[in-house]
């Protein structure tokens, strides 16, 4: 048994290295920024006027719902590295080869992300409002939490599948996810009630599995229709979904809403911070149906609007926006890295300093403390 496990581990590592090398050698060309679009106000105007918006969402839109993201310092992979030291690497938890070899770690963990425990965020509801307004071309989601369905988003492609269905790996019998709910919550491997032999796997796309024809067919049609592309809460690390921004016409404006900038992707406008807080500010700036949506969301969850008043009829937000470069604005929750020697914002791994903006956002008056930001720039991580 030990020899079998070692053989699997070695073959898994070899395949992983080959996959990484293939990705490095096959990177898409860097996207050129459009000079016309730069500011938060430009982003708001695009949301107000565009009619065929393609939105690519990642785990960042569900963090406020209580679902951890995958790749942040406190995300799922960081925890798996500590909690499951026997995994070849944290991503093996969601690798089909490892699941077939040993499904127990996945079932031990799956209860944390099992649907039915969470409610959609303001980001999900914002996308739904765009759909109601006939502005949404498609929502391509990398998430498996089914929150798009709960938010009633209809024009959605679940790129990596979802927890709504499950399949027996032995006899291919299909089941509603409720069939395995008791097993998931009890942290035991679910076996097929039909063949009594096979392990049941939720219909989420694991590493090593193809996304299927639906994704490719839909994207082939949508790439020529889109007039605005927005990436929300995604690190764009997983192919082929990460290639979507590079698949559309180069004259289509693109917006990134994320906690941190991405080294592999250059958007025209970068709004960096907690996704939900940025979306809230966009709702305030858009007014009308979006301001009503925000008020309903806050009333539903008992929130208070950060002590800052806003007017539904106003086209501009009253919140302070810290514009740190031509096309990059930061909001509470942004994570940026600063090189003290060059005085430049840069990517992680090349230095030791980090800005975490929400520590220096004054909730009482909605203003950033620039002194506080400078002070943190000089503070080692």
For 125, the token pair is 């509801």
CB contact set of 111 (below 8 Å; sequence gap of 6+): 184, 185, 187
Q: Is 192 within any annotated ligand binding site?
A: yes
Q: What angle do CA 108, 123, 336 make, to 5 degrees?
A: 80
Query: Which residue is listed with tokens 């926006």?
Result: 321
Nearest CA-CA partner of 259 in 353, 355, 352: 355
**141, containing H or E segment:** strand 136-141
Query: Which residue is listed with tokens 């940026």?
Result: 336
Q: Is 168 within any annotated ligand binding site?
A: yes
| Greatest C-alpha distance within the chain | 69
Contact predicate 336/354, CB 8 Å: yes
Residue tagged active-site, from 81, 101, 124, 160: 160
Phi, psi of 69 (to 5 degrees): -80, 180
Provide the 8-state DSSP code for 322.
E
Distance (Å) of CA 90 to CA 56, 71, 77: 24, 10, 5
Q: Rounded to whole angstroms, how far apart are CA atoms 307 and 366? A: 8
Q: Rounded to whole angstroms, how far apart are CA atoms 42 and 223? A: 22
Residues facing residue 270 across a β-bridge: 256, 328
Omega before residue 184 within 30° of 0, cis? no
124 belongs to the catalytic site: no
Helices and strands counted in the chain (H then E): 12, 16
Contact predicate 7/88, CB 8 Å: no
For 18, the token pair is 């080959």
Q: Is 300 within any annotated ligand binding site?
A: no
Q: Which residues are annotated as a binding site?
A: 168, 171, 192, 195
Give the residue numbers marked as catalytic: 160
Q: Which residue positions form the known binding site for Zn(2+)?
A: 168, 171, 192, 195
């Amino acid at each position: 048994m030990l020899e079998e496990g070692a053989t699997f581990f070695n073959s898994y590592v070899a395949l992983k290295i080959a996959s990484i090398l293939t990705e490095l050698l096959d990177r898409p060309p860097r996207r050129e920024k459009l000079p016309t679009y730069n500011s938060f106000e430009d982003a708001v105007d695009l949301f107000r006027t565009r009619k065929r918006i393609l939105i690519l969402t990642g785990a960042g839109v569900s963090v406020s719902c209580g679902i951890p993201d995958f790749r942040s310092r406190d995300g799922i992979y960081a925890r798996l590295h500590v909690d499951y030291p026997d995994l070849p690497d944290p991503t093996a938890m969601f690798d089909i080869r490892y699941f077939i070899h040993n499904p127990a770690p996945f079932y031990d963990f799956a209860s944390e992300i099992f649907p039915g425990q969470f409610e959609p965020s303001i980001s999900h509801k914002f996308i739904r409002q765009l759909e109601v307004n006939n502005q949404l071309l498609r929502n391509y989601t990398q998430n498996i939490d089914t929150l798009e369905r709960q938010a009633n988003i209809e024009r959605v492609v679940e790129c990596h599948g979802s927890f709504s269905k499950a399949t027996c790996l032995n006899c291919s019998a299909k089941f509603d996810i409720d069939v395995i709910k008791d097993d998931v919550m009890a942290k035991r491997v679910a076996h097929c009630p039909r063949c009594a032999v096979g392990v049941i796997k939720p219909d989420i796309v694991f590493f090593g599995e193809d996304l299927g024809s639906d994704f490719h067919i839909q994207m082939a049609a949508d790439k020529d229709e889109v007039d605005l592309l927005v990436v929300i809460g995604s690190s764009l690390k997983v192919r082929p979904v990460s290639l979507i921004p590079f698949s559309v016409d180069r004259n289509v404006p693109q917006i990134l809403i994320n906690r941190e900038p991405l080294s592999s992707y250059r958007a025209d406008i970068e709004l960096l911070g907690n996704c939900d807080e940025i979306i809230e500010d966009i709702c305030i700036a858009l007014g009308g149906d979006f301001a009503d949506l925000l008020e309903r969301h806050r009333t539903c969850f008992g929130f208070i609007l950060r002590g800052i008043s806003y007017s539904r009829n106003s086209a501009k937000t009253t919140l302070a926006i810290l514009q740190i470069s031509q096309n990059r604005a930061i909001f509470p929750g942004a994570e940026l890295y600063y090189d003290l020697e060059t005085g430049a914002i840069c990517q992680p791994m090349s230095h030791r300093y980090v800005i975490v903006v929400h520590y220096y956002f004054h909730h009482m008056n909605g203003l950033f403390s620039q002194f506080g930001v400078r002070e943190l720039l000089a503070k080692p991580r």
